[in-house]
Structure 1
């Protein structure tokens, strides 16, 4: 794919940054649990809950064995930056926004767990509605979770389920932040969400953390990079209608 993308770059049909984000999108899909239509990834349907085709380490190792191929340098770069475990293109977008270098539109957030099951504290048995929870993003040292759900919850049972999840997180001392499609609709919307997340993380971070985040958000060209990221990561049919955060 990296080799194929060199042609539209040459023809000025695609910028180098957009091509790299498209490559990152593929890497996230290979290491994630969703799959886009290979014949029409931009507008085709998505499959949800599939097994990852490889781990991030396997992807890096396979590319390390390739030499002399056109595009391999960019492919290795993408593999080195991918965050595995995304369950949707929207999660991949969020993962990149919270881990990529500022020059690529990212912010300097601490490392997070991505779609990994939590262990509830032993002393709250009987108080939670779910035996466990798997937040989209979790910072264990900060007790902060972020969940994305692109669906609008109007049904009574879904509203009640959201309420129970919120209660469970609160019971376990975890601050839960929720994001929806509106929070990813533009660079400005993502920047607002990043500032909200940063405020929650700041209590456990060193002095100056918020200033570092703000500097990354205001870095020249970073807002344009986020807009490009959205254009390449969020095909129209791939809003996360499939998924709720995993719980039982």
Structure 2
């Protein structure tokens, strides 16, 4: 009797892709992996153990099944019913009998069990240039290739939504907050806050792109030593740049000089430049004032936020950036 193929999904698949991206390795595509010539095929428990090791995850291994009748009877496996499309292009084989869900179906699966803000952050991560390792201490790897794009995630989620697949609706909501190009977890948190509606506690100032190159004229390139610049956040209309400085109080002189040169070039190119610092993110009053400045540039006719909106914003700010710490003004 042929052994059933194990399709890894949900958090176990997320752990796999995080590990593969951070290690900069190709998946194991050897069809004989896990087998011994002349021996019987691996038992279900053995294949589950192999899958757990390959995914760098903790047991139980989350396995996708089409319905309850296809559940695997194994203590090391958690069966998760997912009725969304899982064709060959949506799966990556790591052997003859184990496959991993690719990012597109995976994102919809996570929509079933992941809060909206956390799901948006995962969207930023999958489509950005960093990865958060699932090793318990939130180690971050930088300079990675994106695993997918927001457009590809949306295409799958829209198809799944048409089929009434669970998780697809929340996936689309989360993708409305995310964009390609994030370079760090903090940038993703800021991006989520900016995109969230004011009713949900955000700034309601979406429509930006992240880390997209702007060509620098030759006469200005000598100022920054580069032919292009990548602003952290850019609203192409009305030509607004937002730069995040990670720690206002511990930047050395050289870094301050580079930041100032970037701002001069942006301004010479006709952009308005706003600088967001870490002390603003942890101070409700400072953050509200900063958002008012952005609103004046992006959406000048917007009404003043209500007290209820500001209260919700304070809770969202704490959720994303930590407990409030008021610095001297």
Fold-level similarity (TM above 0.5)? yes
Q: Which of 70-79 and 51-60 deviates more? A: 70-79
In the alignment, the residues of structure 2 paired with residue 82 and residue 135 of structure 1 have an alpha-carbon distance, to the nearest angstrom, of 17
**Aligned position for 1:31:** 127
**Aligned position for 1:51:** 145
Kept in 2: contact 1:29–1:35 (CA 8 A): yes
**Aligned position for 1:244:** none
**Aligned position for 2:316:** 228
Higher relative contact order (CA 8 A, sep 6+): 1
Kept in 2: contact 1:147–1:176 (CA 8 A): yes
Q: TM-score, normalised by structure 2?
A: 0.55
**Aligned position for 2:156:** 62
Kept in 2: contact 1:31–1:53 (CA 8 A): yes
Q: Which of 218, 243, 260 pairs up with 1:147?
A: 243
Q: Which runs of 5 or more residues in structure 1 are unaligned?
A: 6-18, 203-208, 237-248
**Aligned position for 2:257:** 160
Q: Which of 115, 129, 133 pairs up with 2:224?
A: 129
Q: Which of 283, 287, 300 pairs up with 1:190?
A: 287
Kept in 2: contact 1:113–1:139 (CA 8 A): yes
Q: 1:63 to 1:154 in 2, by over 3 A?
A: closer
Q: 1:226 to 1:93 in 2, by over 3 A?
A: farther
Deviations 1:33-82 (A, max 9, x none): 22112243xx5111122111110111112223434544332123212332
Q: Give the 3-state SS of the residue equivalent to 1:212 in structure 2.
A: coil
Q: 1:90 to 1:119 in 2, by over 3 A?
A: same
**Aligned position for 2:118:** 22
In the alignment, the residues of structure 2 paired with residue 28 and residue 160 of structure 1 have an alpha-carbon distance, to the nearest angstrom, of 30
Structure with a larger share of its residues in helix: 1
Mark the structure with the bigger radius of gyration. 2
Q: Which runs of 5 or more residues in structure 2 are unaligned?
A: 1-109, 324-329
Kept in 1: contact 2:127–2:147 (CA 8 A): yes
Q: Does 1:96 align with 2:192?
A: yes
In the alignment, the residues of structure 2 paired with residue 27 and residue 186 of structure 1 have an alpha-carbon distance, to the nearest angstrom, of 27
Q: TM-score, normalised by structure 1?
A: 0.71
Q: Which of 75-84 and 102-111 deviates more? A: 102-111
State the shift of 1:107 in Å. 3.3
In the alignment, the residues of structure 2 paired with residue 88 and residue 224 of structure 1 have an alpha-carbon distance, to the nearest angstrom, of 25
Q: Which of 97, 101, 113 pairs up with 1:4?
A: 113
In the alignment, the residues of structure 2 paired with residue 163 and residue 94 of structure 1 have an alpha-carbon distance, to the nearest angstrom, of 21
In the alignment, the residues of structure 2 paired with residue 50 and residue 223 of structure 1 have an alpha-carbon distance, to the nearest angstrom, of 37
Kept in 2: contact 1:112–1:137 (CA 8 A): yes
Give the length in aligned residue pairs. Answer: 210
**Aligned position for 1:86:** 182
